[in-house]
Each structure stands twice: as structure tokens, then as C-alpha cells.
Chains A and B, each alone.
Chain A
Amino acid sequence: MIGNELLALSIADLQSLLRRREVSSREVIDALLERIEAVDADIGAYLSLDIEAARKEAEHANVELPLGGIPIAIKDIINVMGQPCTCASKILTGYRSPYDATAIQKLRAAGAIPFGKTNLDEFAMGSSTENSALKRTRNPWDPSRVPGGSSGGSAAAVAADEAFGALGSDTGGSIRQPAALCGVVGFKPTYGRVSRFGLVAFASSLDQIGPITKTVRDAALIMKVIAGHDPQDSTSFNEPLSDYTASLGNDLRGVRLGVPKEYMIEGIDPHVRAAINDAAKQLSSLGAEIVEVSLPSTEYAVAVYYIIATAEASANLARFDGVRYGYRAENPKDVLDLYRRTREEGFGPEVKRRIILGTYVLSSGYYDAYYLHAQKGRELIRRDFNRVFENIDALISPTSPVPAFKLGERAADPLQMYLADIFTIAANLAGICGISVPCGFAELDGRRLPIGLQLLGKPLDEARVLQIAYAYEQSTDWHKARPPIASSLPKG
């Protein structure tokens, strides 16, 4: 099997071929690099590739390992030793990672090959990848539209068969929303389940690393490898891991799913609403019981999020000062001038806006009114989830209120862009886990645009969320659809 047919495989299927010696890891890498060469000028998913190292690792791949010989794309905000880690920002020009993030160490130990870094909104701040200072990424289903964000490069790469799987990071929906808009699977683990060590910090109490894949099984396979306690991250859970693939295939009898009535708001695109209603019916036909639930603090989630996330960002991004790494302004008058001009010239507008907002809500006289108040709001949001999870196993909702929007359509109005995350943000505030799985298409301008179904689960209940998502996915054909770009290319 060669060329595009090979590249369309899931990780699980590729693994079988590798283990049966029907294809070698080196052939896989070569086919993948050829594919990237052919399509990435149009998609713009990758910021850098480490071709030589990837080929060398493929030569020595041990395919019996859990992800042996499988190339995995990495969002360019996670440190991979020897590779750039730009965070899609000019301020990290020239930086090369002197170490591997824990998630990367675990991928390598499992035999995976972290061969390339994918585009993102600068420092993961955005919902369309348009805030990248380095590159524009296009949605493989319609190149005039955004791939979502902030992990837009990872989602677009997987959708366009330029990657078998990828890592992203999710602070307010940055794995789930681009997965939904690109028609792939995106999984956000419980806060603390995957080590954040080596993930460049945006909002430390919200950030989580997770997989973006073609199938739910592939997400479970990557989770099995990257999850677990890490002494280098004091917020990582020291709790036993579930076997994320063991429960796949169990039926949904006895499973109770909640539909939050506050999520079915006006402003949801009619295609999205119809697809989610159909998905609920499908889940019900598989044996799940669907009940309406209430999360009364929902309407405050975006406001709480943009206070807490920007406050944490303003502190985390203080480290970019032109001294230890990255960009440095020329001929500074004094040390203050060095800091101020380095940050003026190095950061893009969205990053500056968020640092300024975060600085304001933490500043003397405003801390109680904004930051402390938002933390209390966060506690109310957390309690909402705890309460509904006493009676249900998971929540279902749209991942995004709309399918992929046009490039430039929302870029001028930050507030409109923030509202794109309305269904995903609360999960980060509450620290719970969630997944987006393909559940249909919207036909717009003669194009098919993917729609994502979001499932949210209890803290550390990853296995249950994956089980439900898998049962749904396997009963539909949505995950088998490939964007037009995949079939328009010559075979072989």
C-alpha cells in the first residue's frame, strides 16, 4: 500500500501494517513528507519539519512498542529537543528547545516520531489560527475558511492526511474547536492528567495537552502513552491510569447523557443544531438515556475565563524580556527600554491585548473586583458540573456554535472571536475532560463543512467519555469522510 491510501489510515490501522511488516516506518515517513510537500503550500499546517532526525528514527523504529514507528505532529508550543518552539510568535525567533516536554519523552519512549511542529494562534491565544505571526493555515474542507484554533495547524494536518495524529493544547477549547471545524477527533484530558512540563504556559490553571486524531481509538492510544503522573508538574495527578482502550466497544445501555438547556441557545447555526439533535437521537438508539440538565452559571463562563486566562497569561509571559531567549530589541537605552521595545516588537496584537487586560485585572485596586470575583464565578461553574454529574455520565452539546467561518470574518473584533469558545471554555474552568467527534456537515457555498459533537465527562473519567464517543463514531460514517483535497491529488 503506498501514497494517499496509506496516508488516510488511522494510527491503529497503520500500526497493524507496520507490525505485519507490510510497510516500513521509513516508507511511512517518506510518504508523509511527500504528502506534506504536495499539499502544505495550500494548507499551511506546518511551521517546521525535522526531516533528517525523523528518517533516522524511522530506520531504527521498534514497531512492537505502543506507538512504534508512528509519526506524530506536535503543536509548536510544546518543546521537542533540538527543534524550534516558536509559539507562532516573533518573540521566539531563533529559539531551539534544549529539552523534551514530558509528553514528548513519553511519545519517544513509546516509539513515536515527533517529526514536525504545527501552526497555532500566537501563544495559543485565539480560535482561528489567524493570530499566528508566522503563517496562515487554511481549512482543508474549504481553503477560504479558518481551521479553528488555537491548535489549527494540528487539526488541519490530521484532516488533510498530513499527519496520522497530533498533539495540541487546550486552554479554552483549543483542541476541541479546531477538531470540530476540521472534521477530526480532539480530546481534552482532565486538568492534571497529562503533564504540562515543557508546554509553554499560557494560563497554567487551564492548559492541558491532548491528542487530535482521525478516530476515537487513536485518541485513546495516544492518551495511554502521554497520560500519567509527572514529578516535574506539581499539578499532575498521582492517581492510577484507566485503560483507555479497554472499554471501547462496550454498549451504551445504562449510560445517562445530559443536554444542558443553557447550551441550546439562539445563535447556534441551524445546521449545527440539527446535527446535534440527530446525534442525540443516535446515542439514544444505541441505548443511552438522554435527559435535560441545567448549568445555570453558563452565561458567565466567557467573562470568567477572559479574566482568569488573561491574568495568568500576563504573569506567564513576563518571562519574554529579550534576555534569556528569543527576540531582543536593538540598541536599548536602558533595561526598561529593552523590555518594553522587545515586547512591543516581539508580540502580536492579540498577545499584547491579553497581557494588558490581565495586568489590569490583577492591578492594585482592581484585583478584588475582577480577578477574585472571577475566581468565585469559577467555583460556581465548577459546582454546576459537580451537581449534574451526580446523575449523569456525560454531557452532550455542540463543540462550536458555528461551522468554520471565513478567514478575516471575525479577526477585527476580539469579543466576537472570544464568543466562539462559548461551549468549550467551561470545561477548562471546571477542569473536566471532553472530546469533539465529527457528527455531520453543513452545506455552505457548495462546500461541506464539518460539525463536531462535544461530550464532557467527569474529572478522570476519560475512559467513559472515550467509550461513549467511540460507540457514537462507530455507528456513523462521519469520521470516514475526507476533505476534497485528499481526493484531488494524484495517487501514489
Chain B
Amino acid sequence: MAGTSDFDVAYVARLARIKLTEDEAKTFQKQLGDVLKYVEKLRQLDVSGIDGAAHPLPVFNVFRDDAASDWFTAKEALSNAPRQANGLFVVPKVVE
């Protein structure tokens, strides 16, 4: 398991697309540092030869018919949009 000293809250917050105030960054750095120190105890757990469980119970390969069915209309899908125009979601310009 990696060390926790290299945990940089500001960097990870950027990856997570969350802006943090300086105060928040400082508090979270300490609090999450404590949590990471706590989870260090997993190092003691011998997991050699164990396959990870991504899912609690053995359910695999769930198929359904590829059939069309009614779902939201465009109007319903847009009903909660904070900004919309011409039946589309509006976002700031992405490509110059």
C-alpha cells in the first residue's frame, strides 16, 4: 500500500472537479490524512492469492432483449435543466 504522505488534497480536488477554499483544503488535508492513516491497517491483511470482489454476490452476464420502449421525451429529459435552449442543454463554449 502506498504511503499517505504524498496525498495532496488540492491536486485530487482538481481531478474531482471540485474547487476548494484555502480553509477547506487545509481542513480536508488533515481529516483525510487521518482517514488514510486509519485505512493503512489494511496493509496487515494478507490478501495473497485472493481475487477482488467487485460485487457482493455472483450475478454475471445479465442480458435483455434489444427492444425499443417508451422513455423520457426530450421535454421531460430537459424538465430539470438549469439552462436550455431549442430543446438542448446549454453549456459554456467548449471549443474555440
Q: Residues on A close to B: CB < 8 A?
A: 94-96, 98-99, 190-192, 205-206, 231, 234-235, 237, 297, 299-300, 302-304, 306-307, 314, 318, 321-328, 332-341, 343-344, 347, 349, 352-353, 355-357, 359-360, 363, 365-366, 369-370, 372-380, 382, 413-415, 418, 428-432, 459
Contact = CB atoms under 8 A, between A and B. Distances in A.
Contacts of B35: 306, 357, 414-415, 418
A396 B50 CA distance: 28
Interface of B: 1-2, 7, 9, 12-13, 15-21, 24, 27-28, 31-32, 34-36, 38-39, 41-42, 45, 47, 50-57, 59, 62, 64, 72, 76-77, 79-83, 89, 91-94
Contacts of A237: 57, 59
A370 B19 contact: no
A363 B13 CA distance: 12
A339 B2 CA distance: 30
Given A94-B80, A376-B50, A414-B35, A356 B18 contact: yes
B55 A235 contact: yes
What are the 3 closest A-B residue pairs judged by CB atoms, nearest first?
A431-B56, A375-B52, A325-B80
Interface of chain A, helix or strand or loop or mixed? helix
A380 B47 contact: yes
Given A94-B80, A369-B2, A379-B50, A332 B56 contact: no
Contacts of A374: 39, 42
A93 B27 CA distance: 26
Contact of B45 (A206, A360, A365, A377): A377
Contacts of A430: 56
A337 B59 CA distance: 40
Nearest to B78: A324
A324 B90 CA distance: 9
Nearest to A331: B92
Kindly name the residue among A234, A297, A318 whose own CB sees the greatest number of chain B CB atoms within 10 A. A234
A379 B19 CA distance: 35
A372 B52 contact: yes
Contact of A378 (B31, B39, B53, B80): B53
B34 A415 contact: yes
